[in-house]
Structure 1
Amino acid sequence: MGALKQFTRKKNAFFRSIKFALINRRYRHRGERKPFEPQSVKRILLLRLDDKIGDMVVTTGCAKALADNGYQVSVLTGPLCKQMLSAADYLHGVHLYRPRMSLKALQEAQFDAVIDFDDVNTYERFKLLSELNIGCVVGFNKARYKLFDQSISFLDESQHISVRYQQVLKLFGIKESEYRYFVAGNPQEREKVAALLATEPMPTTFVAINPFTGSEDKDFSREQVVSIIEHLHAQPRPVKAVLIGQSEKIKQLAIGNALFLPESTINSAVEIVRLVDLVITPDTSIVHIARALDKPLIAVYNQRKLKDTGLPGYKIWAPNYQNASQIICETDFISAMPVDDLLQSINQRVASLYPPAA
């Protein structure tokens, strides 16, 4: 059975590569790319198909800047990002992406331009862009593909990911003195989080710990989380840990001396970050939510390279704001990192939350 599955995967990959080549062949006779004319664009569709929260948080800066400059901005994305964007009033629409979905509603919206922020080159992605049939297709590092009317080069490991989005704004003639992220939040989830924190006596310093990411090599181990919590609770002033994450995964840690919110959503996570005093997390979306809310942060990164570009993720996706501390571990897995450096950083950060004694 395993050999059959492997054969099927290879067969499907082969035929996808053939169809990918055919799509590009269809556009091979297009002429040279013409200069971009932002005045001809009013309605813009942004693609965030992978439903990655961190990517979407960074994208909000570009989306809001475009909207603030008179463009009608919509997003095509997955269910988690759609949930997070539910209160983003600067967006004209948030469309739910599903594989093999009907494109009728998107086609009827008559977008003038579509912007694909990813470096992904797949048959499915190119088929979607082709069938949307939008007058101007903007992408990154796609100069070799005639499907794209505008290709922005961005493969510089010395530049933060936010510079990529600033390049889009530059294309539209928009200059931002500071590139910011925006998370609107959810009042109902905010009330739930506030009620959870109110169970502790005041004054208490609340520190959010996010143990999990989308990649096993970036997760904290249970032992690391326990060490962090014990260290926090040993501080000279009252400190309480608050765990961020899916309820089932948090329950599996079986840690009883920390707060957590049952039935958490992405909006719960946003509100926890908003209401606590300090956030501790590995490299994941919580880093960028913390930046959007300018929250004191300790972020731990390993040195893995990005899959699509080979660029160092710890540089490209660094927190990149003054209120953040970044720890780069030498182990391949963050869970194998000695916790001492992190505990020392916690001491410094917790101490900085208190005003100096008179």
Structure 2
Amino acid sequence: MNFKKADQLIRNLNHKRIDASRSGVLALMAFFLNRISRFTKGPIGDEPILVLRLDDKVGDSVTATGFLRELKRSHPKNKLMVVAGPLTAQIYRPLAFIDEIIIAKKGIVSTWRTFFKLNDRSFKYIINTSHILTPRVLFLTSLLKSYKKLSFLNRDYSLFSDHIDFNFHDHHVTERYRRTLLHLDIQEAKLHYELKVDDDLLKAAATQINNLKKGERKIIALNCFAGARLRNFKKDTTFKLVKGLLQNSKVVVVSIGNAGDLNVIKTWISELNDPRWVCFENNPGLFENCALVHFADLLITPDTAWVHLGSALQKKIIAVYREDSLLEKNSVIWSPYYHTETAIVMAPFHQDQPFDINTVNVDQIVELAHKMLGLS
């Protein structure tokens, strides 16, 4: 029995079950909420703009920063409010162009609290920034008052007044924002990402990195783990990659990750036992890792979230993705968004086999890394 194929089949069936259940709940809610969505007759003055960023995905939240900045730039007198999850709030809180953040955790109680906080206001726009709808997005969008309510795709939901079309499988993740801004008559928007890292964290990271940069060494920040198991670098892949990178004596590899990731990485480092592969166990937080990447010369990652974080920090990046298919062009959708040197390496994708990022050509990554660092 092919256990990989069986595992993939079970995963696919489970996804279909979840999607069917979710679609049923959304259809039932839409049946009622489409009919009672609350609109104002028109913008009277400087009503606030409300943006919903409820999925709490780090990478997607970063990709929306340029959109939020341009929205505020074109509406300087309108208060820009964002309803966001706790992780997203960490990213948005330091950004001066966001006037207020309402933290909304998952669950019915938090959704009701958010509704009561906002119910006495009328908004100029309510904009949902994910094309994937959830019950709480429908609930808040329908029952809060606004002149316009904007959503991506989702034309079957008349609780929204405006629908922005784009091709999710063929357009860069920022295209939805560009089209939304054009829909609002905001021309020539600059959608580069923004990320603010605390000065104290930068000072601490600078000390750590400078201690490694003896003799003009190049620092490679390496992230091995992504949001899905089949997009993680396995130990063998990581060892082959690190050994290849360290063949050049001027390279130091700094592994980044959360507390759980670093516990695994620590055992790998001790096993390989090379002093030029390090991790900092006391830096498991998102912004501590961002501070380290800030001072790195190159970032290598299979995780789209770190591609977007690295883009915001304007770093050289090697992104490791699944090979493009006819249905989805990962190299386009999730490509780094700025004009600094970047590269995308593709792991082969076969329709009849479960995808595994570890089929990637590691030698190609090593060669690209040395070339991008001027070491070959």
Any idea what SS the aligned residue of 1:87 has? coil
| Alpha-carbon distance in structure 2 between the residues aligned to 1:340 and 1:55 | 30
| Alpha-carbon distance in structure 2 between the residues aligned to 1:230 and 1:80 | 34
RMSD over aligned Cα, in angstroms?
Answer: 3.2
Matched AA of 2:336: P
| Alpha-carbon distance in structure 2 between the residues aligned to 1:311 and 1:16 | 22
Match of residue 140, structure 1, among 152, 161, 166: 152
Q: Tell me the residue number matched to 1:274.
A: 294
With 46-55 and 219-228 compared, the bigger mean Cα shift is at 219-228
Q: How many residues align?
A: 340
CA pair 38-317 structure 1, distance change in 2 beyond 3 A: farther
Any idea what SS the aligned residue of 1:134 has? strand
Match of residue 81, structure 1, among 69, 72, 88: 88
Any idea what SS the aligned residue of 1:115 has? strand
| Alpha-carbon distance in structure 2 between the residues aligned to 1:264 and 1:342 | 25
Same amino acid, percent of matched pairs: 23
Q: Which runs of 5+ in 1 are unaligned?
A: 1-9
1:176 maps to 2:188: yes
Q: Measure how far apart 1:142 and its partner are.
A: 2.0
Q: How does 1:32-47 map to 2 (within 5 A)?
A: 42-47=47-52
Tell me the TM-score normalised to structure 1 length: 0.84
Conserved 8 A contact 1:213-1:283: yes
CA pair 182-14 structure 1, distance change in 2 beyond 3 A: closer
CA pair 45-301 structure 1, distance change in 2 beyond 3 A: same
| Alpha-carbon distance in structure 2 between the residues aligned to 1:15 and 1:190 | 42
Conserved 8 A contact 1:246-1:265: yes
CA pair 341-37 structure 1, distance change in 2 beyond 3 A: farther
Q: Tell me the residue number matched to 2:370.
A: 347
Conserved 8 A contact 1:83-1:266: no
Q: Tell me the residue number matched to 1:4.
A: none
1:293 maps to 2:313: yes
Q: Tell me the residue number matched to 2:238.
A: 225
Any idea what SS the aligned residue of 1:318 has? coil
Matched AA of 2:219: F
Any idea what SS the aligned residue of 2:126 has? strand
Conserved 8 A contact 2:172-2:332: yes
Matched AA of 2:85: G
CA pair 203-225 structure 1, distance change in 2 beyond 3 A: same
Conserved 8 A contact 1:84-1:266: no
Conserved 8 A contact 1:80-1:266: no
| Alpha-carbon distance in structure 2 between the residues aligned to 1:29 and 1:89 | 35
Q: Which runs of 5+ in 2 are unaligned?
A: 1-16, 350-354
| Alpha-carbon distance in structure 1 between the residues aligned to 2:26 and 2:220 | 50
Matched AA of 1:186: D
CA pair 299-39 structure 1, distance change in 2 beyond 3 A: farther
Conserved 8 A contact 2:231-2:356: yes
Q: Measure how far apart 1:140 and its partner are.
A: 0.7
Any idea what SS the aligned residue of 1:47 has? strand
Tell me the TM-score normalised to structure 2 length: 0.80
Q: How does 1:110-149 map to 2 (within 5 A)?
A: 110-149=122-161
Q: How does 1:300-311 map to 2 (within 5 A)?
A: 300-303=320-323, 311=328
Q: Measure how far apart 1:153 and its partner are.
A: 0.8
Matched AA of 1:196: Q
